[in-house]
Amino acid sequence: MIQTEAFYEALIARKMDLFAGVPDSLLKNLCSCITLRSGTERNIITANEGNAIGIACGYHVSSGHYGVVYMQNSGLGNTVNPLLSLADRAIYKIPMLLIIGWRGEPGVKDEPQHVTQGRVTPALLDAMEIKYEILEDDFLPQLDRAAAYMAEEAQPFALIVRKNTFDSFAFKAEKVELPLSREEALDTILQPLTDRDFIVSTTGKTSRELFELREAKGQGHSNDFLTVGGMGHTSSIALGMAIGSEQDIFCIDGDGSFLMHMGAFAVTGQTAPDNFKYILINNGAHESVGGQPTVAFSIRPEEVLTACGFEKVITARSREEILAGMEELRRGGKRALIVLTRQGSRDDLGRPTVSPSQNKTDMMERFAALR
Listing DSSP states for 289-316 in one string gives: GT-EE-STTTS-HHHHHHHHT-SEEEEE
CB within 8 Å of 194: residues ≥ 6 apart: none
Exposure on the CB side of residue 241, measured as CA atoms within 13 A:
29
Mean pLDDT computed over 235-253: 97
CA distance 323 to 74: 35
pLDDT confidence tier of residue 194, bands split at 50, 70 and 90? very high
User: What stretch of H or E contains 94?
Assistant: none
Mean pLDDT computed over 175-200: 94
pLDDT at 207 over 90: yes
User: Is 334 in contact with 311 (CB distance < 8 Å)?
Assistant: yes
pLDDT confidence tier of residue 181, bands split at 50, 70 and 90? very high
Region of poorest pLDDT, from 86-90, 108-112, 129-133, 306-310: 108-112
pLDDT confidence tier of residue 287, bands split at 50, 70 and 90? confident
Strand partners, 330: none
Which pLDDT score, from 0 to 100, does residue 67 have?
A: 98
Which pLDDT score, from 0 to 100, does residue 173 have?
A: 65
pLDDT at 222 over 80: yes
CA distance 137 to 166: 9
Sign, Cα dihedral of 100, 103, 107, 112: negative
pLDDT at 244 over 90: yes
pLDDT at 294 over 70: yes
pTM for the full predicted model: 0.92
CA distance 255 to 238: 16
Domains and CATH numbers, the chain: 4-161 (3.40.50.970), 182-370 (3.40.50.970)
CA distance 70 to 97: 8
Across the chain, mean pLDDT equals: 95
Region of poorest pLDDT, from 81-90, 223-232, 305-314, 320-329: 223-232
CB within 8 Å of 207: residues ≥ 6 apart: 201, 224, 226, 227, 228, 352
Q: Please report, for residues 239, 265, 273, 329, the alpha-carbon distance to residue 270 in angstroms, rounded to integers and kept in the order given.
A: 11, 8, 9, 17
* Number of residues assigned to the chain: 371
Backbone angles phi, psi at 286, to 5 degrees: -90, 70
List, in sequence order, every beta strand (DSSP E) within 110-240. Answer: 131-134, 157-161, 198-201, 224-226
Describe the chain by its helix, strand, coil percentages, rounded to 5.
45, 20, 35
pLDDT at 344 over 90: no
CA distance 312 to 338: 11
User: Is 10 in contact with 48 (CB distance < 8 Å)?
Assistant: no
CA distance 46 to 43: 9
